[in-house]
Structure formats: C-alpha cells, structure tokens
Structure 1
Amino acid sequence: MTEMKQEATAPAMLWGIGVGPGPAGYLPLAALQALQQADLIYAPRARGAGLSVALQCLAGIDIGLERNPGRLREIEFNMDPDRSVLTEHYAQLAQEIAAELRAGRSVAYLTIGDSLTYSTYGYVLAALRDLLPQFPHHTFPGITSYAAAAAALDWSLGTGKERTLILPCPEDAAILRQEIESHDIVVLMKVGARLPWVLELLQQMGIAQHCAFARRIGLEGEVLASDVSTLDTSCAAAPSGYLATMLIRKNALEKRHQS
C-alpha cells in the first residue's frame, strides 16, 4: 500500500524579501541564504509585462532556479483602482501561500525595494496572519526606491533638521504644492503618468533645478536626472509606471563646508 504524505502539523517558514531596486547586488546576504533554501519563490509580475522586475533585480545571482525552475511561482498583478478587486486578489494569493505553508513547503516572497514600504508583501502578510495566526515568518528589510535614487544621484535626503515627507503622488497639483511648501524635502513615489504636470508644477515654483528624478534604476530604460529642469520632454512622455521616484527639494542644499 502506498503511503500518503501527511500534511505538516505546523506551517513552514515564510520569508519576505525586498530586492533591488536596480542592481542585482542590492540584496542582504541573510536574505540570499533564505532564497537559496526556500522550497518556493513567489515573484510579482505586472500584468502585460514579459518578465518580473523582481527577478530582473536578481540577474546573475545564483538562487537555484536554473537547477530547479519548478520552485518559481510568478504572480501576475493588475493594479486595479477598484479596491474590491485587489482585496479579492490578495485574499486568494494568501490562501494559496497558506496551503503551501501548511503542507510544509517554505516560501520566499519577493518584492521590489523595501519589503514593507508601499509593498504588495504588506497586504499578503496581513492576509496570511488572518489565515494562520502566529505562523513562522521573517521579513528582511530592503532598499527603498528613494534611497537607491538618492545614492545613484548623490542627492542628500536630509541634512541638519530638514523635514522630509514621503508620499505617493497625489492626483491634484494644488495638494502637491501645499505639501512641498510645508516641508523641506518631498519624496514622491508612484509618479507614473502624472510626471508631466509634476514637472510643470516644479517649474512654476522655481525649484526644478533643486529636484531629481530616477526611473528603472539599474535596468534597461534607466533615467537619472539630478536637475529636472533639464529633463528631456520625451522622458516625461514615456510611460514611467510605478518604477519612478521624484526627489523634491524646496530650497537649494546648504553648503555647510563653505564659510
């Protein structure tokens, strides 16, 4: 008689791992070890994209997929503005991952940038906690898109007592203007198709030369501009998606090394 494999009595491990954004080396060593030993690797991919950006950020790093490609689970994401659609999607994904964990298979969940900064992983983690209270998991911190952009452009994210605001790009230019006027630095994420009017606003405020822009850092189609007043208009017209970050400085950086 063939013995059936019994379901594990306790869930296996979940690892949340931020990769990139950009160069493949942007990955903690401890996270690499988890990736190599995970039974399954879940990688998000935007709907319509041929390849997961998260996997592109791991190019050249041996995580064992060439020897065992069956470990990979690509998840197609459609960033639908309808919250009910997204809620259902995350609920279904959490149920799928929970089933793997209950069966004793450890899971590594990839996300771009930091694991818990505007990340899909945060939603998945919350949904899994509802399904599997107290399940074993570990979240590795990653590199945020704005930290990667600042490093690529030698752009200081804050000096002295400067006040910094991090926010997704609002839909209204008046709201963004108010935020800029009440902070020293604004990190603008999820710029997407709003880039043209954001650039126009910065020009109107006379601060474009103090602001920087980065898109697809370390990947094909990379754009890095330390002065957005010189940003090519064709860049503004190109689709930026969610891989674009604007670094806004209200006043010129103080040169404290000069008397």
Structure 2
Amino acid sequence: MTTPGTFYGLGVGPGPYGLLPVAALEILQTADLIYAPRSRVSPDSVALAALDGLPFPRERVREVEFLMDGDDARIGEHYAALAREIAAHQWAGRSIAYLTIGDAMTYSTLGYLVAALTREAPDLPRRVFPGVTSYATAAALTGFSLGEGKERVLILPCPDDMAALRADILSHDVVALMKVGRRMADVLALLTELGIAEHCALAHRLGLDGEVVLPSLAPAPDPGRLGYLSVVLIRREAPRRFA
C-alpha cells in the first residue's frame, strides 16, 4: 500500500532575496511537485519570482491560476477542483508544495485551498509553514515601527470608501493597509488631508522589477505607477522620540 504524500503550504518572499524559512526551503528542494499560483492578468507567478536565485528543482514546478473574482460559488468550485487534483497526487505518494506570496495564511489564497483540502480529503497529511508578510518587510526596509508599547495596530484591506478608511485610521495608532490597488490616489490624498503623510511609508513590488520603497509619503508620490502589490504603513501621530 502506497503511503500518502504530504501537502505543504509555503509562504515565500516578499522582498529581498532570501526571505524564506530554512524549513520551507528544505521542503521546496525535496517536493515531488511544486504548485506556483499565478494571477490570470499576469504572465508569470509572483510567488515563483520571489525564489529567484534559490536552488530547487524548477522542472517540478506547475503554474496554476488562482481565482479571486468576488464570486464565492466560483471560488469554491475552483479550489475544490484544485484540492481534488492535489489529493490525487498525495494518494499516489507524491509530496506537494504550494507557494504563496508573503505569509502563508495572511490574506492568502492558500487559506481557500487548505479549507478545500480539509473538506475533500480530511485524512491526508498537510502542513503549513509561515512566511514573511509584506507589511513586516516594508516596516523593516523603511524603519517604520509597527507597534510601540500598547499601540493599537490594524491590518486592513483597503476599503473603497475613504470615509471608512478615515474612521479606521482615527481609531487606531497604526494601520497596515493592504490590497490598495486602484485606490492609491484616494489613499494618498486622504493621508495628505489628515496631515500625516510625512510619517507614513509605502512599499511597492517588493523584490520585483519596479520596486519602490518610500519611508515618507510627503511629498505624495505619483499614484499612477503604484497600486497593485503595494502596502501602505500609516501612523496616526508622529512616532515618539526618546532623548
């Protein structure tokens, strides 16, 4: 009887070369198949690009489109089908690594896949390795403190309504704003209006071509070249300075 293989979810990148847990790299180098998710609007997998320069068997990579179109039924069907495909490989004794950008379970499509695997094949072994979030990477590169003392920190996907974002900023000390996309111009305008742009930071396309890292948003950068794969770090008040 064939021993089932294990499914491994791996958070890779973002940012500078080498931001990958050692345990995850070991799995990457020994997995029988490596699934690299790719957006339908991109010709290449960003998660795979985060591994440039690292030694692993690229002939085992299988790119797969990830679906995030807002239709819950379609998303459920998509990940259920992918889970059944992966489960078939596991029953055949193959180990599977699935890549996701940043931390494996923070605003990640891997969460949908893990849930689908739990439903479709609850008895098959699986393990998820944490990765490095984009906002932690951005904070490290810009010297932005994500929380001091008892400060309240909010991790937030950017709302369409800037009034809602204003309320979130004013009710928290620090906001890590993700999934900004086409709303970047409105976000920058709001930070300028609130008079806090000087002590906010931004990172765009960490570790990829066109990377932008800004430790301050005053003066406001051109929003036209920013948006997708951007994170904005917002501080409601200037950081404390100790003598």
TM-score of the aligned structures, taking structure 2 as reference length: 0.96
Pairing of 1:93-172 with structure 2 (within 5 A): 93-172=82-161
C-alpha deviations, 1:197-220, integer Å up to 9, x for none?
A: 011111111111111111111211
Structure-2 change in CA distance of 1:148 and 1:195 (3 Å): same
How far residue 190 of structure 1 moved from its aligned partner, in angstroms, is 0.5
- In structure 1, the partner of 2:241 is 255
Select which of 41, 53, 72 maps to 1:83. 72
Aligned partner of residue 70 in structure 2, secondary structure = coil
| Cα separation, 2, equivalents of 1:135 and 1:120 | 20
- Structure 1 gaps of 5+ residues are 1-5
Larger radius of gyration: 1
Q: Contact (CA 8 Å) 1:18, 1:141: kept in 2 or not? A: yes
Task: Report SS of the residue matched to 1:41.
Answer: strand
Over 3 Å counting, the alpha-carbon distance change for 1:153 and 1:239 in structure 2 is closer
- Whether the 8 Å CA contact 1:17–1:110 is kept in 2: the answer is yes
Alpha-carbon contact 1:189-1:245 (below 8 Å) kept: yes
Task: Return 5+ residue gaps in structure 2 as ranges.
Answer: none
1:15 pairs, out of 4, 8, 28, with 8
CA contact (8 A) 2:87 2:124 kept: no
- Percent of aligned positions that are identical: 54
Residue 56 of structure 2: which of 63, 71, 76 is its match? 63
CA distance in 2 between partners of 1:208 and 1:246 (Å): 10
**1:31 aligned partner, one-letter code:** A
Instruction: Pick from 32, 39, 42 the counterpart of residue 46 of structure 1.
Output: 39
> 1:253 and 1:174 mapped to 2: Cα distance?
24
Evaluate the alpha carbon distance shift between residue 17 and residue 96 of structure 1 in structure 2; reply closer, same or farther with a 3 A threshold: same
2:158 pairs with 1:200: no
Q: Which amino acid aligns with 2:214?
A: A
User: Which residue number in structure 2 is paired with residue 32 of structure 1?
Assistant: 25
Give SS of 2:8's match.
strand
RMSD between aligned alpha carbons? 1.3
Deviations 1:160-192 (A, max 9, x none): 111101111111011111111110001101011
User: What is the one-letter code of the residue matched to 1:113?
Assistant: G
Flag as ranges the 4+ runs of structure 1 deviating above 6 A.
none
Conservation of the 8 A alpha-carbon contact between 1:225 and 1:231 = no
Matched, 1:186 2:172: no
Note the alpha carbon deviations across 1:7-37, whole angstroms, 9 max, x for none: x3x5310111000012230111111111111
8 Å contact kept, 2:12–2:20: yes
**CA-CA distance at 1:152 after TM superposition:** 1.0
Partner of 1:3: none
Q: What letter matches 2:34 in structure 1?
A: I
